[in-house]
Amino acid sequence: MGVAALLVVVLPLVKMIRTAWLEGSGNLGDVVSRPGLGAAVTHSILLAIAVTALAVPGGALLAIALRRSDLPGRRLLLLGVLLPVLVPDFVLGYSWLRAYGGAGFTDDLLGVAWDGIQGPLGVTVVVAVNAVPLAYVVAAVGLAARAEPSLERAARAAGAGPVTVLRTITVPLLGPALAAASILVFVLTLGTFAIPQVMGAPTGFATVTTRIYANLSRSSDPAAFIEAILLALLLVVIAVVVVAPADQLLGPRLRATRTAATDPAATAGGTRKPGRWITATISGYLLLTVGLPLVALVATALTQAVGLSPTPSNWTLDNFRAVITVRNQEALGRSALLALAAASILVVLGGCVAALERTRFGRSTGTLVMLTFVLPGSTLAVGLLITYGRWLGDTALIILLAYLAKLWAFAHRPISGAVDRLPPDELSASRVSGASPLVALRTVVLRPLAPALVAAWLVCFLTALHEVTMSSLLYGPGSETFAVVVLNSAELGQVGRTSALSVLLTLLILAPAGLCWWAVRRLDLRPAPSSESVDVD
């Protein structure tokens, strides 16, 4: 296991440092003084700070509001808040352009267009919208684990009003979760590529990731290549500088949380009816940030030409017909196959690491895996390229390798969490009942782990399906993935066709996700809520 991590993560990093050292030492001055380099670094850092400042409070507010079990339409809202996870970030960015940009949806219908959308402001807002679900999930888990309803009730009984409870109890309890969410959002924003590329690059707003892409795919200048390696290394350095002290500081506190189920009945809301305005506000937010952009995207895909109003008389399927080519179908098949292979291998690897972690020797492997989570995709891709590019160059295998390295943590987290929640006595009980270790594993461990394994597989599969940061750097002739096809189409300026491709890509992800969601509900694979945590008599 350690060897696998070594091959896909550590070796590429070492190789990058070596290459930068050997080839860059002579002309380092030339590289660093290249125009636009400093701006790109500044943009990346400012973007990460701004997005963190927007997305984390947003996610926390959503988590606190959505905890009320008596909120009207709560189930739909929960689904809506998590929906952006399933929309590829590239598609989200592009659909915002179609919705609010020039010649977009609101421009056509109301004559209102947001001029600054293709620039720092637009990029910041859309990356933040894309990051809110992550911040929400971390905050919601933190709330469920630490802020038990009885703690807030105790404060109400002690004389505190709802706002005081929020200030003195709920938010302080959420502290560690919010800190963790901030770090995650910051680091992931640092490595985000698709949204800045599709929304910022056309107007010259470059970040470190888009510059790496430009250097590698647009330039044959050796200095550009060295610069790409340096930038990729810089991303890691910033990520590690942010994550390492935070992990030291917060690690024990985050891990020491109890697992408590959410309140079955009510939270400390008192006896007053919840305001419908909470539901209205969240619905409005979802409509503006996800609903309308996606509608605009579909409308564009169905409309004959840009500039025509998206009314039925102008509807056509021409855009879809135009993109269903043999080449695109091959790319689609390749994407599906890659995602399938990556997800299946990762679930096995994730399970092994989760098991190994529990031994003294394996603990560092778990940490190493978490490192891959914060390692920006651009860095991984550059590292893999200079390490294995010579042999695997233009094959899809190098893309598979990248998926394995990047998504390892995605598989590891849910599986490891589920293993942690396994009551230790159950395994002992099966052993004293006469089961050998393997039989015990099969009969009492695997079954409760099934939901986590399915979830891990699904997350890996769906993420790999629309991965574009690494794919766009690693693909060669004959190995492009479907997401790369969409990106390239956008850069050619084919608005109608890009919209059609984006719609197809989104459907490709929503379909299996919806199917699995339905299957999980149908089979009730989810672990039953623990009855212990029910405090109501």
Judged by the rule CB under 8 A, the positions of this chain that interact with another protein are: 146, 148, 150-151, 153-162, 164, 168-169, 172-173, 175, 265-266, 268, 270-272, 535-537
Nearest approach, Cβ of 128 to another protein (angstroms)?
A: 28
Structure tokens at 173: 């309890």
Closer residue to another protein (CB): 158 or 511: 158
Nearest approach, Cβ of 374 to another protein (angstroms)?
A: 27
Nearest approach, Cβ of 150 to another protein (angstroms)?
A: 4
Nearest approach, Cβ of 138 to another protein (angstroms)?
A: 18
Closer residue to another protein (CB): 434 or 532: 532
The residues with which 315 forms a beta bridge, in sequence order, are: 303
Closer residue to another protein (CB): 3 or 536: 536
Nearest approach, Cβ of 530 to another protein (angstroms)?
A: 14
- If one counts every other C-beta atom within 10 angstroms of the C-beta of residue 245, the result is 11
212-241 core/surface letters (b: 16 or more CB in 10 A; e: else): bbbbbeeeeeebbbbbbbbbbbbbbebbee
The whole-angstrom separation of Cα 483 and Cα 150 is 47
Alpha helices, H only, 115-203? 120-146, 149-157, 162-165, 171-190, 194-195
Nearest to 82 by CA among 527, 480, 442, 462: 462
Closer residue to another protein (CB): 162 or 527: 162
39-57 core/surface letters (b: 16 or more CB in 10 A; e: else): ebbebbbebbebbbebbbb
Structure tokens at 487: 């990106």
Nearest approach, Cβ of 74 to another protein (angstroms)?
A: 13
Closer residue to another protein (CB): 258 or 522: 258
The whole-angstrom separation of Cα 306 and Cα 167 is 50
Closer residue to another protein (CB): 89 or 263: 263
Q: Write down the residue that tokens 């160059």 correspond to.
A: 393
111 Ramachandran zone, left/alpha/beta (phi>0; psi -120 to 50): left
Closer residue to another protein (CB): 260 or 419: 260
Nearest approach, Cβ of 93 to another protein (angstroms)?
A: 39
